[in-house]
Amino acid sequence: MMLGQEQDPGGGSQPPRATVSLLRSTASQQEVKVENQEDLAQLWETQWQEFLSTVEAPQILPEPSPWEDAHIFLASFEQVATAFQWPKEEWAARLRPTLGGDAEQAYSRLEVGDREDYGKMKAAILQADAVSREKQRQHFRRFCYQEAEGPRQVYNQLQRLCHQWLKVERHSKEQILEMLILEQFLAILPPEMQSWVKRHNVENSDQVISLAEDFLLRQWVPETTEPQ
């Protein structure tokens, strides 16, 4: 289940750490009055190339991959792309060098003609992210005592699997609670409603609830076709 961006102590949201410096420098540039728009564009282009080098270059103290939460990373990328005023048709090419893990695999499975379409690229990445998260959840829930040697090893393995699923180092307490509540909410929905909700790439509780309500509405309105 997808969640929004990380929350800071003041209740705001944070992009992945890999993009923090880029976003901050972008914000500061917006406060500076630059008469020559070409100079400003060049500054933004330089900052983007510097960001790409941080993604690709090996780190002495490696940080978690920004693609561990595709929703957060894509939202941050779109903020940057909008601030830089990049044409929408360039977004896919700009994002391509940053891809890694499941995101890169999702991109490689796209038809060649779809790889320059940012909307299709984003949808494929988010779908892969949703599948990966569901696998992590199931692995945690289905882990058996016999899969490890002794109580201590069992506990340690469960702890590791739980961290992989909930990503406690990246999500706030409120976000983790929402993930757990949404998991149980989906589990107790009627089968047809559950299937309808799961077919959509939902991000938060409001969207899940809206989909469930939409399913009910479609059942009660005769002229509305069956949810597909």
How would you write the pLDDT of the chain (228 residues) with one tens digit per residue? 444 444 444 444 444 444 545 444 444 444 444 445 566 666 667 767 766 666 555 444 345 567 778 888 898 899 999 998 999 999 999 999 989 888 899 999 999 989 999 999 999 999 898 888 889 999 999 999 999 888 999 999 999 999 988 888 788 889 899 989 999 998 999 999 988 888 887 767 888 899 899 988 888 765 545 555
Confidence (pLDDT) at 18? 46
Q: Which two tokens stand for residue 99?
A: 């891809």
Beta-bridge partner residues of 7: 13
> Residue 8: what are its φ and ψ, rounded to 5°?
-95, 175
Q: Which two tokens stand for residue 121?
A: 């690229």
Confidence (pLDDT) at 170? 80
| Beta carbons of 158 and 140 less than 8 angstroms apart | yes
Q: 3-state DSSP call for residue 84? A: helix
Q: Give the angle subtended at the CA of 18 by the CAs of 55 and 108, to the nearest 5°.
A: 45
Question: CB-based contacts of 172: which residues, under 8 Å, 6+ apart?
Answer: 6, 7
Confidence (pLDDT) at 56? 55
| Beta carbons of 3 and 171 less than 8 angstroms apart | yes
| Residue 35 burial (CB count, 10 A) | 6
